[in-house]
A = this chain, B = another copy of it.
Amino acid sequence: MITLASDFGSPYPAAMKGVIRRHTSAEMIDVAHDLPRGDPRSAAFWLRFVLPEFPPAVHCAVVDPGVGTDRDALVVHAGSHVLVAPDNGLTMPPARALAGEEGPEAFVVDVEDPASATFHGRDVFAPTATRIRAVLDGGPDATTPADVADALAAMDDLSPAADPVDLTLPEPSVERDGDGDAVAVDGEVLVVDRFGNAVTNVPGELIRGREWIRVNGELTPVAETFGAVDSGDRLVTVGSHGYVECDVNDGRGDGAFDLRPGSEVRLVADNVSL
């Protein structure tokens, strides 16, 4: 299986699929092709959320603001998975999630002159993913991390990456009271989804058990589900990724809370009962 993720829109990913299909019959599954344009951090967030749901696979992820510059093409070994992507850090958060304790290991691809300077998805990353897929499919079942390591070690166009770009999603800072309970958290918005839900970097456990919380000063109910508040009302919830989201039932949280990716979010505990 090869998964495909990009910010390419359409029909560019189809060109990648044609290239892949010329050389392998492996299944292709789209993760997304409308990732925020040229934003490796958002891509990293979404891939960290989605890729761990998959069985062992080769994941080709191209959000590549540096296309055509001398940035490297990377192959990252992460547990039983392999990621193929430009060296801008986007693979690191999902690779850490996939690799477990062992941690990910990055290789630089020895790329020959690509056919274009602007479409390395077609000319570099899809062919690389295809070759890795073929090596994995040609060997033993390759479902353990050790099998994958062996397969990658056998490829003579990969060399260990000396200093791959790392990218760490920002961590919130937490103030705690004498009992160790979080009373205030300074975080930020990581991504906004199609529904307008503003997903922060604040882990859900920091607000669990609270009924109300101040979001940038505004008292807001904490709810498990959208349906717990009236249509059009604001709420704070813990999304399926485990992070605090600022939402509106039947509406857009980004608009109501005036938040966009990168916006600061200060959450303050408030034990009000109304």
Contact = CB atoms under 8 A, between A and B. Distances in A.
Interface string A1-38: 10101001111101111110110000011111111011
Interface in A222-253: 224-228, 237-240, 250
A157 interface: no
A50 interface: yes
Contact of A15 (B50, B194, B226): B50
Nearest to A114: B240
Contacts of A226: 65, 67-68, 118
A18 B53 contact: yes
Nearest to A23: B55
A116 interface: yes
B38 A11 contact: no
A51 interface: yes
A119 B53 CA distance: 13
A22 B55 contact: yes
A133 to B, nearest CB: 15
A11 B5 contact: yes
Nearest to A51: B18
A49 interface: yes
A12 B239 CA distance: 12
Contacts of A193: 9, 12
Contact of A240 (B30, B33, B55, B118): B118
A66 interface: yes
Nearest to A54: B18
A69 interface: yes
A154 interface: no
Contacts of A41: none
A69 B55 CA distance: 30
6 contacts: A10-B34, A16-B53, A18-B50, A38-B250, A53-B122, A117-B224
